[in-house]
């Protein structure tokens, strides 16, 4: 992969805008509630490719994301889900061969761009794409999903006017304009270990900024998590009380502990508490 100059310059911008690296949500793609996002007004999605949707340097969707990816595309629509990669679709992708392969395997368009994320020319290309749709999608109607802080999350926040070096003055006649930029979603897991030191550094940097520099948006992030993240599934394994194994290990074993009596369902029964 070529040297990413825009990504290397991010730490210098953090001196003035440390919020650039803060995601709104940090969760696995399979936990995102795309219908809730659509109901909240988000109409488009930008996804990274490597270690987000696919194994690095491969074009096929990882099997674990089949259901979530289908739900995402059916919720937002085919043209409203865009893949923006720093490999496929760039000038290093000769003839856009990899972009065509990724688009075929993932059933989604791949952005052609000459500048790497999180550069402003790449952001301009994303804006051009969504503004050219039959029903244009604004920045505030986008979610940006990726596994890297210095590229995906920073790019999402740079698309928000309030994170500019000199943010525009708010109009006095607009009291509640709502969000101005995309919702930045950070997927912290990886499908294949790659650049683990940089990932560790990004994670520590985000945690440090959240704890010591920017403390205000914590309640806001918790609200986003509650609205747009599905509850963690609880897997219950029922104990099999039939068969030879059960009778030998439980019924015929004099040292086996007695089974506890079933608890009565009273008004103080605790429910929905995950350990």
Residue 41 sits in which domain range? 5-228
Sheet holding 183-186, edge to edge: 25-26, 183-186, 142-146, 44-47, 81-83
Q: Is 199 exposed, middle or buried, given 0-12, 13-18 or 19+ CB atoms closer than 10 A?
A: middle
Distance CA 108, CA 6 (A): 26
Q: Does residue 109 lie within any of the structural domains? A: yes
Assess whether the previous peptide bond of 216 is cis (omega < 30° from 0): no
Supply the CATH number for residue 178's domain: 3.40.50.1000
Q: Does residue 77 lie within any of the structural domains? A: yes
Q: Which two tokens stand for residue 231?
A: 């509850």
Q: Does residue 242 lie within any of the structural domains? A: no
pLDDT confidence of residue 165:
57
Residue 104 has a CB neighbour count (10 Å cut-off) of: 12
Q: Does residue 245 lie within any of the structural domains? A: no
Distance CA 205, CA 77 (A): 35
**Spatial contact of 32 and 45, defined as CB atoms under 8 Å apart:** no
pLDDT confidence of residue 247:
56
Number of folded domains in the chain? Answer: 1
pLDDT confidence of residue 273:
38
Distance CA 6, CA 21 (A): 14
Averaged pLDDT, groups of 10, the chain, 275 residues long:
60 77 92 96 96 93 96 96 94 90 96 91 95 95 95 92 61 44 90 88 90 68 86 60 56 55 47 40
Q: Does residue 84 lie within any of the structural domains? A: yes
Cα torsion for 244, 250, 255, 261, to the nearest 10°? -170
Task: Give the position of tokens 């990882």.
Answer: 62
pLDDT confidence of residue 232:
80
- Measured in degrees and rounded to the nearest 5, phi and psi for residue 143 equal -115, 145
Q: Give, as one character, the DSSP assignment of residue 161.
A: G
Q: Does residue 271 lie within any of the structural domains? A: no
Residue 4 has a CB neighbour count (10 Å cut-off) of: 18
């Amino acid at each position: 992969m070529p040297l990413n100059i825009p990504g290397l310059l991010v730490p210098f911008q953090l001196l003035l805008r440390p919020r650039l690296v803060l995601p709104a949500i940090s969760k696995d793609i399979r936990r995102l509630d795309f219908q809730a996002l659509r109901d909240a007004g988000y109409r488009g999605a930008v996804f990274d490719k490597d270690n987000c949707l696919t194994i690095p340097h491969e074009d096929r969707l990882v099997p674990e994301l089949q259901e979530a990816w289908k739900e995402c595309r059916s919720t937002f629509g085919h043209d409203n889900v865009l893949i923006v990669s720093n490999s496929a679709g760039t000038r290093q992708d000769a003839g856009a061969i990899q972009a065509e392969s990724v688009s075929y395997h993932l059933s989604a368009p791949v952005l052609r761009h000459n500048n790497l994320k999180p550069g402003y020319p790449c952001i301009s290309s994303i804006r051009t794409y969504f503004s050219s749709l039959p029903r244009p999608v604004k920045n505030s109607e986008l979610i940006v999903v990726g596994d890297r802080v210095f590229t995906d999350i920073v790019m999402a926040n740079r698309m928000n006017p309030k994170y500019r070096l000199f943010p525009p003055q708010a109009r006095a006649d607009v009291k509640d304009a709502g969000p101005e930029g995309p919702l930045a979603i950070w997927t912290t897991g990886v499908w294949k270990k790659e650049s683990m030191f940089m990932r560790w550094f990004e994670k520590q940097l985000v945690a440090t900024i959240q704890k010591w520099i920017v403390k205000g948006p914590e309640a806001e992030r918790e609200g986003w998590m509650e609205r747009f993240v599905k509850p963690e599934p609880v897997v219950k394994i029922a104990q099999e009380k039939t068969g030879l194994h059960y009778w030998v290990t439980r019924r015929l074993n004099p040292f086996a502990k007695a089974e506890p009596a079933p608890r009565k369902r009273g008004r103080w029964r605790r429910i929905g508490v995950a350990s």
